[in-house]
């Protein structure tokens, strides 16, 4: 064995130890994908898999499939949520679902303000903040998505924009309520494009976001709010991204559609 081989073994061992000591939140955002048959096949593949106790695994399917999650994951530690909800309990809101409906099916999380919703459905920060509030008041954990587009990244003016998205998105909750919120940093230029932010870019941005959260909400709260990264995360890049500072987990689109890939990504985050 030459010195390079030995160095690699030592480095791998250190990385394993780091990953084994950290808890990660792994959230799959299925978007508008899968048929009923495919959902059943996916759930059958993961339902008896032991994901371990360290990481939390959450899947957000299209809402009509929630009943299958409720049924199949009844005795499982895998959690699930919705990709969006409307900030009212019920009423004349054609095409929408409420926190009450989501909760009725056992959803524990809600992805809010995803860039696809902001861009395609014109959702603004104020609307997102109402959704955040209704979730927090009703024991659903909001995963609030923020992220800049390519022009903002290139123009180097994305940081004030990210701060603004957080401040506005969280403007209707305060104090300990903030401890129920999860932030997902998803640069728009990295979503579904195959172009991931580099671990250095993620570390730099997450460090900035962590400092901002501490400044804005105080150390006790600011240091606790989980910061997920999302944007073309897959089993080849998740390990390096997980080693970046201040990364509490991942919001994963395309790669979360395969049960096997979810299992492999959780294995990597478990230091296996
Ligand atoms: P992606 O999607 O992993 O397919 O890039 C991430 C997301 O939009 O949440």
Average pLDDT by stretches of 10, the chain with 272 residues: 88 92 97 98 96 97 98 96 97 98 98 97 98 98 97 92 98 96 96 88 97 97 97 96 97 98 98 92
Q: Is the CB of 251 under 6 A from ligand 1?
A: yes
Residues catalogued as catalytic: 114, 186
Contact 84, 53 (CB under 8 A): no
Q: Is the CB of 233 under 6 A from ligand 1?
A: yes
Q: What pLDDT is recorded for position 2?
A: 86
Ligand 1 pocket, mutate which of 61, 182, 190, 192 (most atoms under 8 A from CB): 192
Q: What pLDDT is recorded for position 241?
A: 96
Q: What pLDDT is recorded for position 193?
A: 84
Using the atom order of ligand 1, give the atom closest to the CA of residue 254.
Answer: 4
Q: What is the pTM of this model?
A: 0.96
Distance from residue 100's CA to the centre of ligand 1 (Å) = 26
Across the chain, how many H-helices and E-strands are there?
Answer: 12, 8
Residue with CA nearest ligand 1 atom 7: 253
One-character DSSP codes across 141-204: EEEEEE---HHHHHTT-HHHHHHHHHHHHTTT--GGGGGG-EEEE--GGGSSSS-PPPHHHHHH
Using the atom order of ligand 1, give the atom closest to the CA of residue 192.
Answer: 5
If one counts every other C-beta atom within 10 angstroms of the C-beta of residue 57, the result is: 25
Q: What pLDDT is recorded for position 211?
A: 98
Q: Is the CB of 231 under 6 A from ligand 1?
A: yes
User: Radius of gyration of the chain from Cα atoms?
Assistant: 19
Distance from residue 149's CA to the centre of ligand 1 (Å) = 14
Q: What pLDDT is recorded for position 223?
A: 97
Q: What pLDDT is recorded for position 226?
A: 98
Q: What pLDDT is recorded for position 192?
A: 81
Q: How far is CA 16 from CA 50, 245, 268, in A?
A: 19, 15, 9
């Amino acid at each position: 064995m030459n010195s390079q081989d030995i160095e690699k073994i030592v480095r791998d061992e250190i990385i394993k130890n780091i990953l084994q000591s950290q808890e990660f939140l792994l959230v799959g955002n299925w978007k508008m994908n899968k048929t009923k048959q495919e959902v059943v096949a996916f759930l059958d593949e993961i339902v008896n898999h032991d994901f371990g106790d360290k990481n939390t695994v959450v899947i957000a399917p299209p809402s009509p499939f929630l009943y299958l999650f409720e049924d199949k994951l009844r005795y499982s530690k895998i959690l699930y949520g919705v990709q969006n909800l409307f900030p009212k309990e019920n009423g004349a809101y054609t095409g929408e679902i409420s926190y009450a409906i989501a909760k009725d099916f056992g959803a524990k999380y809600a992805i809010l303000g995803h860039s696809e919703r902001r861009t395609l459905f014109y959702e603004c920060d104020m609307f997102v903040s109402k959704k955040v509030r209704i979730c927090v008041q009703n024991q659903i954990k909001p995963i609030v998505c923020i992220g800049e587009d390519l022009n903002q990244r290139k123009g180097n003016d994305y940081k004030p924009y990210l701060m603004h998205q957080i401040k506005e998105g969280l403007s209707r909750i305060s104090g300990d309520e903030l401890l129920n919120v999860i932030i997902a940093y998803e640069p728009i230029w990295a979503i579904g494009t195959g172009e991931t932010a580099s671990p250095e870019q993620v570390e730099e941005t997450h460090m900035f976001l962590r400092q901002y959260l501490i400044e804005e909400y105080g150390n006790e709260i600011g240091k606790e709010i989980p910061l997920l990264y999302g944007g073309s995360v897959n089993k080849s890049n998740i390990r390096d991204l997980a080693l970046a500072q201040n990364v509490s987990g991942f919001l994963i689109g395309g790669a979360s559609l395969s049960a096997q890939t979810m299992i492999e990504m959780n294995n990597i985050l478990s230091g296996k």
